[in-house]
Amino acid sequence: VEITVDVTSPVYPYRQIADQLRAKILSGEITDRLPSLWQLMDQIEPRPGYNTVRKAIAILKDEGLVVTAPGHGTFVRRGPE
């Protein structure tokens, strides 16, 4: 996925991550399943903490862009429902 966080920015990392993930979803770069939280952590530079990635995902979840399924993963929501 490759996400880069600017640590000098006044925008918090969790929001930068959410913004970049949202862009990748809306652009169609991510279509079905998102990488697992641990995979995401390894694909973000510099590597954030688990809860930071979770907070970014929570934003997209609040926006209705993704849904999470414990034991399965996080998925891009296809249609409105």
Nearer to DNA, 30 or 52 (CB): 52
* 32 binding DNA? (CB under 7 A): no
Euclidean distance between CA atoms 21 and 29, whole angstroms: 9
* 54 binding DNA? (CB under 7 A): yes
Nearer to DNA, 28 or 71 (CB): 71
For residue 44, which phi and psi values (nearest 5 degrees)? -110, 135
* 21 binding DNA? (CB under 7 A): no
* 68 binding DNA? (CB under 7 A): yes
What is the chain's alpha carbon radius of gyration, rounded to the nearest angstrom? Answer: 12
Task: Report CA-CA distances (Å) from 3 to 7, 17, 49.
Answer: 13, 7, 14
Question: Smallest distance from the beta carbon of 58 to DNA, in angstroms?
Answer: 7
